[in-house]
Amino acid sequence: MAHNTTHRDQPDTTDAIDSTVENQRQRLNVLTQQTRFVLIQNILSHPQQLPTLKELDYVNPSKSKSTIREHLKVLIEHDIVEECTLPKDERKRDLPWRFYGLTDIGRDLLEEMGLLGAEGTLQDMFEMLETTDEIEKYAQAPRPRDAETDEELTGSDALEAYIRDQKANTQSVADQVAVATALYEDEIGPDHDGLTRSEIAERLAFEYSSGTVLNYLVDLDILEEFQPPGPSTYVISERRDQIINGEVEETVDEEIERLIDHMDDRIIPMDDGQPGDRVVIADGAGRTIRSILAEEFDVPSDDVASYLRDGDQLTKLNRAVDAIEESEDIDKGDNYGRVIFRNAAYRYRLSEFGMSLAESGVTQEG
């Protein structure tokens, strides 16, 4: 005899699927309401993606704080947004301790809708937003930290999190992150000889001033700025394109004499050459270098040579070359050149703190 058996203790998978689909549909309806969708964008654009109610109120001047609070409540009820609070022992007077961020369900929903692709653009727009001192203070206030997330956040991610936390109000924060990340990935740390500013600029395309970006990172103690061993100042012969430390006087004397040897050259445009071409002739028409220098130093033409040989020859040499180069009548040529002083270029590398930050994954002070 056959027995009909109904498995009443097994869940109805169709009902479970229907329930999941219904929950998803409800969340989509909640999310796509205009005000709530704007609040989601505000959360994504925030540097730490954990804005306070005051910050959300500031970026939505057409909405009252009570309206924003009600919409946040709806988003929380549908597990799209969560309220995060600082532990009582970490709360500070005059600083916020209640924040709003996306749940994992909320992020998954946005990803399914293809809306997370605009995350970077939204954050760039937030950086250009003019804020009050109070809002800036709220933006930089300490946020709750997830211990498990912190343990996983290492390397360049930890550097980025720390820089964005500390310098979120600076427009060049993306450049700062790019520099720190590149130096970490290239292992340019405390034991490295470092890179000059120009060498770093060759590796990266800066949107803002490279000097400003590096100064911010030095200020954070992410980078170490230092001068390499050796002279702090270099003397360079432009004509020879060489460092001449220890032979400055002799080189200046030589350049002065080379200049004097060419003072009576007359230089005029070539009739059949390309625009800007010059030809040197010993006699005839055309202005001389002597006449240019006589005007520059306000001395008689016959006295130019003795004037150049006397007194502060270095200053006179460089001033003479400047005057010749600035003249529209003459091309200087390569027979003589300035003697210039240059400070040794500062070099940059990750500091001990920057390297330990990347290796330990600590992202924010407690």
User: Which residues have CB under 8 Å from 175's CB, separation 6+?
Assistant: 204, 206, 207, 208, 210, 213
For residue 94, the SS3 value is coil
Q: Where are the domains of the chain?
A: 15-139, 147-229+351-360, 233-343
Q: How far apart are CA 113 and CA 116, in angstroms?
A: 8
For position 251, what pLDDT does the model report?
94
Length reported for the chain: 366
Local structure of residue 107 (DSSP, 8 states): H
Overall average pLDDT of the 149-174 stretch: 76
Percentage of residues in the chain having pLDDT higher than 70: 80
Least confident range of 153-167, 252-266, 274-288: 274-288
Overall average pLDDT of the 30-37 stretch: 80
Q: Are the beta carbons of 360 and 155 closer than 8 angstroms?
A: no
Q: How far apart are CA 105 and CA 82, in angstroms?
A: 10
Overall average pLDDT of the 123-148 stretch: 77
Overall average pLDDT of the 211-236 stretch: 88
Q: pTM of the predicted model, to two decimals?
A: 0.41
For position 151, what pLDDT does the model report?
46
For 15-139, give the CATH class: mainly alpha
Confidence of residue 362 (pLDDT cuts 50, 70, 90): very low
* Mean predicted lDDT score pLDDT of the chain: 81
Least confident range of 71-75, 155-159, 255-259: 155-159
Q: Are the beta carbons of 125 and 174 closer than 8 angstroms?
A: no
For position 119, what pLDDT does the model report?
66
The string of pLDDT tens digits covering residues 180-216 is 999 999 999 999 999 999 899 988 888 888 889 999 9
For residue 90, the SS3 value is helix
Overall average pLDDT of the 268-293 stretch: 58
DSSP one-letter string for 306-353: HHHHSS-HHHHHHHHHHHHHH-SS----SS---EEEEEPPPEEEE-HH
For position 145, what pLDDT does the model report?
64
Beta bridge pairs of residue 348: 195, 225
Q: How far apart are CA 115 and CA 19, in angstroms?
A: 24
The string of pLDDT tens digits covering residues 72-123 is 998 898 888 899 988 888 888 888 999 999 888 888 888 887 767 666 677 7
Least confident range of 31-35, 218-222, 308-312: 31-35
For position 205, what pLDDT does the model report?
85
Confidence of residue 23 (pLDDT cuts 50, 70, 90): low
Q: How far apart are CA 88 and CA 66, in angstroms?
A: 25
For position 357, what pLDDT does the model report?
85
For residue 245, the SS3 value is coil
For position 280, what pLDDT does the model report?
47
User: Which residues have CB under 8 Å from 119's CB, separation 6+?
Assistant: 44
